[in-house]
Amino acid sequence: MEGDCHYLEGNLNARRRVEYVQNLLEEIGLDGRRIRMFNISSAMGAQFAGYASELAATIREVGPNPLRDYQAYLAEQQEAVASGMV
Amino acid sequence: MIVAEQKPLAEMKTLINGAENVLVVGCGTCVTVCFAGGTREADIVSTSLRMATKLDGSPQQVTHSTVQRQCEWEYLDIIEEQVKAADIVLSLGCGIGVQAIAEHFPDAWVVPGLNTSFLGLPTEHGVWEERCAACGECLLAVTGGICPVARCSKSLLNGPCGGSENGHCEIDPDVACAWQLIVDRMSSKGKLDALLEIQPPKNWQNSRDGGPRKIVRQDLRLVEFED
Ligand code: SF4
Ligand code: SF4
């Protein structure tokens, strides 16, 4: 649970980093809702299922990653680099 | 160290607008340790720009490279070919790094990806604070090692002013009053009396007021042989 972490304050630090990544995704134009952090313990099966459904619903709303073909795109770029363009 | 922070991605996008090939250049010194422009940041920035420009429908080729020290010409030779191939160089160095690239590669168009902020140090993880304003005539010996030029909001040499309240500066309760710090430190060293001596006006000509500064060390210069 929040602040009650095996690594002491680790999950509080992690939360800030998740917020950083959310902002970065927003800046890039990828929708920051694609990443979220939930705090649950191993004994909270029902909550886990609830959060999973919540996240699934959000992701359906946000839609597929528009850069899904990014790997192919990167390969294209690397080819361009290799061919001496960059 | 020189402390800087990244410009927002949207601003960087504007700065590289229209370029087909962009080279992001990081620096391995000050801006690495303030997490603004090291190898990791150069990687994140170039990846972010690739993704962002792709999403905008006008993908730009963005590569990155990090030199050990962007503020010295000789460290820049290693990226010569990459700079030549790029339409725009986005420097993640401090303002000195940006200018070093522009001077070393006169044909290149170089833009800054950082806002160079101040000379300071990290006071805790993720927090940096200003400590020196490079005034050109250091008077830390008079003030117990606490700089009134950079840390007093009014750069008072004879302080504190009437706005000092419970150790805080009148401009903001979150800002420590430098002169309170100075008085406390001098007291703790039994040297408070030294502050009774009025400091004369400072020669600001050694600071920015005297125009761009330059240091010449004849002992270090290389002799130029004439044929
Ligand atoms: S007195 Fe001048 S040189 Fe010394 S720390 Fe302050 S600004 Fe820097
Ligand atoms: S309150 Fe202290 S730090 Fe602020 S301007 Fe006055 S002397 Fe300087």
At position A15, the amino acid (one-letter code) is R
The residue whose CA has the least distance to atom 1 of ligand 1 is B138
Q: What is the pLDDT of residue A75?
A: 75
Q: Counting ligands in written order, which one lies closest to the CA of residue B146?
A: 1
List chain B residues with pLDDT less than 70: 227
Cα separations in angstroms, B168 against B133, B159, B164, B174, B188 = 20, 13, 6, 7, 19
CA separation for the pair B143, B186 (Å, rounded): 7
Query: ipTM of the predicted structure?
Result: 0.83
Q: Which residue of A has its CA nearest to B64?
A: A86
At position A8, the amino acid (one-letter code) is L
| Nearest alpha-carbon partner for B69 in B43, B94, B103, B46 | B94
pLDDT tens digits for A49-58?
Answer: 999 999 999 9
Residues with CB under 6 A from ligand 1: B 132-135, 138-140, 147, 149-150
B150: Cβ–Cβ under 8 A, 6 or more apart, which residues? B118, B119, B130, B131, B132, B133, B135
For the cut 90, the answer to whether the pLDDT of residue A73 exceeds it is no
CA separation for the pair A51, A57 (Å, rounded): 10
Q: Which residues of A are less than 8 Å from B36 in CB distance?
A: none
pLDDT tens digits for A4-47?
Answer: 888 888 899 999 999 999 999 999 999 999 999 999 988 999 99
Chain-chain contact of B85 with A85 (C-beta, under 8 angstroms):
yes
CB pairs below 8 Å between A and B: how many? 44
Domain B2-118 is found in CATH 2.60.200.20: no
Q: What is the pLDDT of residue A76?
A: 73
Q: What is the pLDDT of residue B224?
A: 81
Report cis status (omega within 30 of 0) of the bond before B160. yes
Per-domain residue ranges of chain B: 2-118, 135-204
pLDDT band at A86 (very low <50, low <70, confident <90, very high): very low
Per-domain residue ranges of chain A: 10-82
pLDDT tens digits for B102-141?
Answer: 999 999 999 999 999 999 999 999 999 999 999 999 999 9
Q: What is the pLDDT of residue A85?
A: 53
